Each structure stands twice: as C-alpha cells, then as structure tokens.
Amino acid sequence: MNSGISQDFQMEITCPICMNYFIDPVTIDCGHSFCRPCFYFNWQDIPILTQCFECMKTTWQRNLKTNIHLKQMAFLARKVSLWLFLSSEEQMCGTHRETKKMFCEVDKSLLCLLCSSSQEHQYHRHHPIEWAAEEHREKLLKKMQSLWEKACENQRNLNVETTRISHWKGFGDILHRSESVLLHMPQPLNLELSAGPITGLRDKLIQF
C-alpha cells in the first residue's frame, strides 16, 4: 500500500483476501469483491460457492464478471504506486540519474529513456513500464482462466462419472436383492415324483 493514496480509497480497491490492490476484481451476489485469482484459489467447491469469504453469507455464483469500475480504480492506484516507487532515489538510473520508465522485453530489465536508446538496447523491444506490467498481468490471468475452466470441466465430468457409478451400484443392489428373494421363495412340488404314489392310493381307494 502507498502513503500517497488516501486510506479510505485504498480500502475500496483492496482485496480482503490478499490485502493488495484488486487484480481483475469480481463482485459476487452479496456485494463483496475479490481478486479473481484470490477467489479461484480460495474457492473450496468448484461448481458453486457456498459462503462469501468476507461476510460468510451463503451465496450461489457461477458466472463471474469483472467489475470494470473497480478494475480501473485499482489500475490507477497501481500506476501511482509504481510512479512513486520508480521516482525514489534507489530506483533512479545510476548512469543518467533519470527515472526508469521503460521495460526491455529482451533483458527483462527496467531502463531510463536514454538507456533504452543506447547502442546496447536500441534493437530491443521496449514498452512503458506500467503498460508492460499490465500486459504481463493480463496474460497470466488468461492462462489462469483457462486452467480454471479446465478444472471446472474435469469436476463436471467427475460428477457425471460418480453419478453413473452410483446408478450402476444401485442397479446391482436391486439385482442382488431380487436374487436373494428368488432363492428364499417356496419351491413348486415335483409332480413327476408324486404322481406314482398318488396313483397307487387312488387304485386302492377304488378297490374298496
């Protein structure tokens, strides 16, 4: 956090989980907001969220949309913080005593404008530091989103297989019970074995 930004404003743009400025903030149906990465990493149940991390109210959230207003405010706050950091004496260019404003994609280093145009770096790709930071952050967020979607898909497939196995197990239990009932049912008389004695008794009765 930075002393150059008012405390109240900082609290508005601070994630209650990581306690840093929001990164791709999402607002759930109870009204509280979190960084999308924090939300994903702390979500205990992939299909649905059962409790808000802040108020502990039961909530059901499936489609998370970025809070554009919070994202823009957090971006501005990070930009101010970065500018104050780079303006500090420790971060000044040791050669030209200028603020480092450029990021070299090749060397992955921070440079002042004069260094970025020097013979050593003139053929390298350079970007303003705040732009490069946001660009790399967005790339990481896209990768994380892709991994999250795959995790959700795997969870859904697992749920389907678990349900299918449960159904087959239930069907097997029914078959087992049916076989048990059949085994304990009274068996029919063997008419062939009993026909002889019965016929003999009938003949004797006729003789009387």
Q: Where are the domains of the chain?
A: 1-86, 91-152
Closest CA to 125 of 116, 134, 133: 116
Q: Any idea which of 42-56, 112-126, 138-152 has the lowest mean pLDDT?
A: 42-56
Q: Is the distance from CB of 10 to CB of 77 less than 8 angstroms?
A: yes
Domain 1-86 sits in CATH 2.60.120.1440: no
What single DSSP character describes residue 30?
A: T
Residues 39-66, mean pLDDT to the nearest whole number: 72
Domains 1-86 and 91-152 share a fold: no
pLDDT of residue 179: 58
Interhelix angle for 129-183 vs 68-86, to 10°?
A: 130
pLDDT at 49 over 70: no
Q: How far apart are CA 100 and CA 21, in angstroms?
A: 22
- Listed in sequence order, the DSSP H helices in the chain are 7-12, 36-42, 68-86, 113-116, 129-183, 191-207
Taking only the tens place, the pLDDT of each residue in 3-36 is: 556 788 888 999 999 899 998 999 988 889 999 8
Residues forming beta bridges with residue 51, ordered by sequence position: 58
Taking only the tens place, the pLDDT of each residue in 158-208 is: 777 677 666 566 655 665 565 555 565 555 545 454 445 545 545 544 454
Closest CA to 41 of 144, 110, 139: 144
Taking only the tens place, the pLDDT of each residue in 82-95 is: 888 877 877 788 88
CATH superfamily of domain region 91-152: Classic Zinc Finger (3.30.160.60)
